[in-house]
Amino acid sequence: MGYHDTYKNWQDNPEAYWLEQSKAIDWVQAPTQAMFDKGNDLYEWFADAKVNGCYNAVDRHVKNGRADQVAIIHDSPITGTQTKITFAELQTRVASVAGALKANGVTKGDRVIIYMPMVPEALEAMLACARIGAVHSVVFGGFAANELAVRINDCTPKAILAAS
């Protein structure tokens, strides 16, 4: 099916189109409706569904035979090195961070600040939060101390993950 056919399918029946597209990911609870009209020009996608972003980004690839495939390639312009992490390695690393967060009392709905440079560990921290249902806020590492404090105080995090 080409672009024009796909576009026409979406135009003809957007609800059916997006429900069909939703089958491309794994759901904890699959949606029965794509778009919910909340009124006042507010809409919500897949409001009756539940999904775990970490499972879809990592675990299902390991489960489906892609464990040894590279999931992340990190090119460091600072060190001039390249790091490759497979889905299996990523799964282990994310599970470790998620376990550490849980051991420190972080649970579903808690807020976590991630204060790291653009390194694989930052992505692992984000995925770990998604795995346990914690909300993460990534804070840019270039903020001055006062601006960083404002963001931390505003977030009232249960944990802060930072590079050492």
Contact between 131 and 94 (Cβ < 8 Å): yes
**Cα-based torsion angle of the residue sequence 132, 134, 138, 143 in order, rounded to the nearest 10 degrees:** -130
Question: ∠ CA 31-34-38 to the nearest 5 degrees?
Answer: 110
User: Could you state, in order of their start, the residue ranges of all structural domains in the chain?
Assistant: 3-45, 53-162
Contact between 124 and 76 (Cβ < 8 Å): no
Q: Give the pLDDT of the chain (164 residues) as one tens digit per residue.
A: 799 999 999 999 999 999 999 999 999 999 999 999 999 999 999 999 999 999 999 999 999 999 999 999 999 988 999 999 999 999 999 999 999 999 999 999 999 999 888 899 999 999 999 999 999 999 877 778 888 888 888 889 999 888 76
pTM of the model: 0.86
CATH number of 53-162: 3.40.50.980, 2.40.50.320, 3.90.79.10, 3.40.630.10? 3.40.50.980
How would you classify the pairing of strands 81-86 and 42-45?
unpaired
Please name the residue that has the structure tokens 């960083």: 148
Q: Is 133 left (phi over 0), alpha (psi -120 to 50) or beta?
A: left
